[in-house]
A and B are shown apart, each in its own frame.
Chain A
Amino acid sequence: MSQTVVVDIVRIAVILGMFLGCVAYLVWVERKLLGHIQIRVGPKRVGPYGLLQPIADFVKLVSKEDLTPPNAHRALFRLAPAIALVPAILSIAVIPFGGTIRVLGREMPIGIADINVGLLYVFAMSSMGVFGIALAGWSSNNKYSLMGGLRSSAQLISYEVSLGLSVLGVVLLAGTFSLREIVAAQHPIPFVALQPVGFLLFLMASSAEIARIPFDLPEAETELVAGFHTEYSSMKFAMFFVAEYANLVTVSAMAVTLFLGGWNGPFLPGPIWFALKTAAMLFLFIWVRGTLPRYRYDQLMRFGWKFLLPVALLNLLVTALIVALSGGEG
């Protein structure tokens, strides 16, 4: 038993370390890509090709003054970044990165945990993030923060409904919540082929969930300066930042798991396929950020409630009808 736990701890620490490393370098990749989209070169000063930039950023942020505004609600102000960060990290727990691997004579699935309600767990964790943002906005006692916090809360909960509905088609086809089994169900054909509408809905709803352009209203800097984290400095700011990029990675990984066949793929080992597909998704998100303007708040709400929600419901019903008529074989 104790040996299992030690193996678990090591395995989880390795995965967590890799995940945080990915998140840190995602910032570099995004800056570099955006740079090239915008005919700039992006970071290049720190290390070759600016590769040490994330480390330099970290050193800078950690050595900054950590201020708590006197009028803020102190406890909540300090707790909010942690509430944003912890669920963001936790949601990677159930994502399967690959098939199984033999370590110390035991077959182990590549991933942290394999639970039968994996999908529900991811949504539970991702909806926790809104608390961090709402509390940060309210506790700062700053008008921009408050408006940013309110907007974010309203936006995140509005799109969560559509997000939940958009993946139901996949659940219907796979008949399970376990992400591992969902991936297994996509062995010959990834679900994106059977659920193209669901995939697009998922992309739109999840961009709104992680507040990416064109739905990045919580941080609409031209209106609200920095939105809910206006008052945050030093590592507290960094934690929001890490949470944001961690969510971006998680969403990309979820899109791969649910729609793009997960680690399935010919020739290459599973985890490599998984990494490649996730990287492609991340590229898509960054590309969109370099291209589109931002919705206005009321347009965002209207889009979510009047377009996304009905289409998601319709998609679900049509899928159910087809499944029922075709004798349940997908």
Chain B
Amino acid sequence: MLSDFLPIGILFLMAVAFAGIALAAPHLITRAHPTREKMLPYECGIDPVGDARGRFSVHYYVVAMMFIIFDVEVVFLYPWAVAFRQLRMVGLVEAAVFLAILLVGYVYLWRRGAFEWD
């Protein structure tokens, strides 16, 4: 069982090695010649005003929370889908109840305008 994952482990090592070499290669081949202008954050050729790391819109956090809620829902549905052939109608009813509860949250989010951006 675990040996199934061995090739993935090997691939992981190869991928990491590939990434490592790619990160290191330019340093071996070329040399950076930094100047003040080159090292400025790109802002269309104007010296940037202020720092980029301010507080940003709360809406992004809302999206993240919605994701957590609905992705957990999907995660619950995964084993259900695999076992569905054994569960049949019982499974269908159970899933319907589960989704109905989530639907309440979904409708709430919809009506609160969480999916809108203004």
In the complex, A touching B, CB below 8 Å?
yes
The chain A residues found within 8 Å of chain B, CB to CB, are 5, 8-9, 11-13, 16, 20, 62-67, 69-71, 78, 81-82, 85-86, 89-90, 93-94, 112-116, 120-121, 138, 140-146, 150, 153-154, 157-158, 160-161, 164-165, 168, 171-172, 175-177, 225, 230-231, 234-236, 238-239, 297-298, 301-302, 305-306, 309-310, 313, 316-317, 320-321, 323-324, 328
Task: Beyond A12-B11, A115-B5, A172-B81, list 4 extra A-B contacts (CB 8 Å).
Answer: A12-B14, A116-B4, A142-B48, A175-B85
The chain B residues found within 8 Å of chain A, CB to CB, are 4-8, 10-12, 14-16, 18-20, 22-23, 25-27, 29-34, 38-44, 48, 51-53, 56, 60, 63-64, 66-67, 70-71, 73-74, 77-78, 81-82, 84-85, 88-89, 91-92, 95-96, 99, 106, 110, 114-118
B15 touching A67, Cβ below 8 Å: no
User: Which secondary structure dominates where chain B touches chain A?
Assistant: helix
Instruction: Assess A143 versus B43: contact at CB under 8 Å? Given A67-B34, A154-B64, A158-B67.
Output: yes
Instruction: Assess A320 versus B84: contact at CB under 8 Å? Given A12-B11, A225-B42.
Output: yes
B60 touching A150, Cβ below 8 Å: yes
Give 30 CB contacts A-B under 8 Å.
A8-B10, A16-B18, A62-B25, A63-B26, A63-B29, A63-B30, A64-B26, A65-B33, A67-B34, A81-B19, A90-B8, A112-B7, A115-B5, A121-B8, A142-B48, A143-B41, A144-B42, A158-B63, A160-B71, A161-B70, A177-B78, A231-B41, A235-B23, A236-B23, A238-B22, A239-B23, A306-B110, A316-B77, A317-B92, A324-B91
B67 touching A160, Cβ below 8 Å: yes
B67 touching A150, Cβ below 8 Å: no
B33 to chain A, nearest CB (A): 7
B residues within 8 A CB of A69?
Answer: 39-41
CB contact between B7 and one of A8, A67, A140, A176 (< 8 Å): that residue:
A8
A residues within 8 A CB of B29?
Answer: 62-63
A residues within 8 A CB of B82?
Answer: 171, 175-177
Bound complex: CA of A297 vs CA of B14, how far in Å?
A: 37
Q: Which 9 A-B pairs have the closest CB atoms?
A: A298-B117, A66-B26, A157-B67, A82-B19, A142-B41, A164-B74, A89-B15, A113-B7, A171-B81
A residues within 8 A CB of B22?
Answer: 81, 85, 235, 238-239
B52 touching A145, Cβ below 8 Å: yes
A161 touching B67, Cβ below 8 Å: yes
A residues within 8 A CB of B85?
Answer: 175, 323, 328
Bound complex: CA of A83 vs CA of B43, how far in Å?
A: 26
A90 touching B12, Cβ below 8 Å: yes
Residue of A nearest to B24 (CB): A235
A residues within 8 A CB of B39?
Answer: 67, 69-70
